[in-house]
Chain A
Amino acid sequence: MRFLRQTASIAAKDLRSELRTKDSLNAAGSFALVIIVLFSFMLDPTETQTVYELSGGLLWLVFAFAGALILNRSFARELPNDCLDMLVASPVSSSALFLGKATANFTLLLVVELVCLPVFGGMYNLSRWSTHLGPLLGVVVLGTWGVTVIGTMFSAITVNLRLRELMLPILVYPIMIPCLMAAMKLSTVLISGEAITGDDWIWLRLLIGFDIIFTSLSLLTVDFVLVS
């Protein structure tokens, strides 16, 4: 119970801070929408089949780029006034601190994605995008948790680096590749109006496995990262 209360306190604090300033939400939201518009210029909307085949990839590139803006701020938010030191010195376990921050990042990124998803469907004339809305949202949730958990961990690792805004994407994107590949593949299938069948299940298992493995690894190693 103590662990869950600490996690909830950290997540609530981060969300309250973000709702006051809206720094990350405004930046990530507007950046995502701009990318969606820019990508639409390179595709011929009359070639519907091509657009459907690329849809998952485009969507998750937008989510990954927008996510980096939110994740960069996660631990950097603690730097003014040395707040991170106070949290690490408090009786909060490092894993609760990590999980609270990951939960807040996940919520913020999910909000941006839920705004972008219908815009994406409309902008690219993907009439079948909401046919399997439930499973698509499930994939979005699983993929977003994978992106968030890796990003939050590397936000902690890079928090004291001078070029952390540059270093975070460089370090994070290569590690996200399995998660992004699985999310792209599954999203393409679902946006095209098809159900997940046969060979596609392996991508779903990969996505779930990625989330479990990297969440466990992060929880086990975050104390080592935060305490010098």
Chain B
Amino acid sequence: MTPAVEVQKAWKYFGDYPALRSISLDVPAGTCLALLGRNGAGKTTLLRILSGLSNPSEGSVRILGHGSRDYQARARTGMIGHGIGIYDELSAAENLRLFARLFHVRDAEQTVQQWLTRVSLDRVQNSVVREFSRGMRQRLALARAFLHGPSLLLLDEPFTSLDDRAIALLQSLLADALKGGATVIMSTHQLREAMELATHVALLDRGKLAHSGERPVQMLADPTWLYRTYGDSQ
């Protein structure tokens, strides 16, 4: 079976500094990979390469059997980055309609309405996002990322600064996506939330892949076990 994500000896330099050092990683389709590591380990850099926002300086990346900048890869990938990726001056419905058009979602209007209902923003769908609370904006960002039914989800610290309601919503959306056969890669420092979903883990340490494989059973009881065993404190 072809892995959903294949990374072969990927390096990324910023000037002379190697942010990623010869990363090789296969992520099986239908799994949830928790990408772990201290701040500055290279998690965001790797996710930006996987999402096609950045090219590796050396090495190669295949996403769902295609190059990371290929239309087929990007059309089937959903992303949540550090920013919510939502336009403040547009309404909730206009934001989702825009991304539905860009991702060529069939029955766009119906899909938009379904997602607005799912994230409980249907009553304020015509209000501009600038007037929304932080929690409402976060829920809209989740709808934006899941709108087109992606086969691969790339999430950069998705639980950071989410309120309880948004965390529960995200966990439910991710569980549904995994049940539907999607692949999820998420970088996170919130180990307890991540371990509820993760089937695989990868640990980055100063740009190197310190460990990757199925989630060790020890991490359920002690989420920091991986850091102590393979990380820089070893």
Within the assembled complex, what's the spacing in Å between the Cα atoms of A94 and B82? 22
Majority SS of interface residues in chain A? helix
Assembly CA distance A6 to B101 (angstroms): 8
Number of A residues whose C-beta is below 8 Å from B?
A: 25
B44 to chain A, nearest CB (A): 11
- Stretch in contact with the other chain, from A46-54, A78-86, A130-138, A195-203: A78-86
Closest residue of chain B to A21, judged by CB?
B89
Q: How far is the CA of A150 from the CA of B19 in the complex (A)?
A: 33
Within 8 A of B (CB), among A1-43: 2, 5-6, 9, 13, 16-17, 20-21
Q: Which residues of B contact A93 (CB under 8 A)?
A: 71
Closest to A80 in B: B88
Whole-angstrom distance between the alpha carbons of A87 and B71 in the complex?
13
By the criterion CB–CB under 8 Å, are B71 and A82 in contact? no
CB atoms of B103 and A91 under 8 A apart? yes
Kindly provide the distance from the CB of A210 to the nearest chain B CB, expressed in whole angstroms.
30
User: Does A172 interact with chain B (Cβ within 8 Å)?
Assistant: no
The answer on a CB contact under 8 Å between B90 and A89 is no
Q: Complex: how many Å from CA A85 to CA B86?
A: 11
Given A86-B144, A89-B51, the answer on whether A13 and B87 have CB atoms closer than 8 Å is yes
With an 8 A cutoff between CB atoms, is B99 at the interface?
A: yes
B83 pairs with A20, CB closer than 8 A: no
Cα-based distance from A83 to B89 in the complex (angstroms): 12
The reply to whether B102 and A227 contact each other, CB–CB distance below 8 Å, is: no
Contact A17 B90 (CB under 8 A): yes
Q: Is the CB of A90 within 8 A of B102?
A: yes
> Secondary structure at chain B's binding surface: helix, strand, loop or mixed?
loop
Provided the pairs A9-B98, A9-B102 are in contact, do residues A228 and B85 lie with their beta carbons within 8 angstroms? no
Contact A85–B53 (Cβ < 8 Å): yes
Residue among B54, B101, B144 making CB contact with A228, cutoff 8 Å: B54
Q: Would you call B102 and A92 a contact (CB within 8 A)?
A: yes
Chain B 48-81: CB-based contact to A (< 8 A → 1; otherwise 0): 1001111100000000000001010011010101
**A82 to B80 alpha-carbon distance, docked (Å):** 10
With A and B bound together, what is the CA distance between A81 and B81 in angstroms? 9
- The answer to whether A91 and B54 touch across the interface, beta carbons within 8 angstroms, is no
Residue from A6, A9, A83 within 8 A of B83 (CB atoms): A83
Tally of A-B Cβ pairs under 8 angstroms: 78
Give the size category of B's interface with A: 20 to 34
Contacts of A90 in B (CB 8 A): 74, 99, 102-103
Let me know if B173 is at the binding interface, CB within 8 A: no
A2 to B101, CA, bound (A): 10
> Is A88 an interface position by the 8 A CB rule?
yes
Contacts of A91 in B (CB 8 A): 71, 74-75, 102-104
Is A85's CB under 8 angstroms from B103's CB?
A: no
Q: Is the CB of A85 within 8 A of B87?
A: no
Asked whether, in the complex, the Cβ of A227 is within 8 Å of the Cβ of B85, the reply is no
- Measured CB to CB, the nearest residue on chain A to B98 is A13
B 178-214 to A, binary, CB cutoff 8 A, 1 in contact else 0: 0000000000000000000000000000000000000
Complex contact A227–B53 (CB within 8 A)? yes
Q: Within 8 Å CB of B51, what residues of A?
A: 85, 89
B102 and A2 form a contact (CB under 8 A): no
- Known A-B contacts A89-B52, A91-B104; the reply to A81 vs B86 at CB < 8 A is yes
Considering the chains assembled together, what is the distance between the CA atoms of A35 and B85 in angstroms?
37
Which positions in A face B, CB cutoff 8 Å? 2, 5-6, 9, 13, 16-17, 20-21, 80-83, 85-93, 223, 227-228
Question: Can you name 18 A-B residue pairings with CB atoms under 8 Å?
Answer: A5-B101, A9-B101, A13-B98, A17-B89, A17-B90, A81-B83, A82-B81, A82-B82, A83-B87, A85-B83, A88-B52, A89-B52, A90-B102, A91-B74, A91-B75, A91-B102, A91-B103, A227-B55
Top 6 nearest A-B pairs by Cβ distance?
A82-B83, A86-B85, A91-B75, A81-B83, A91-B74, A20-B89
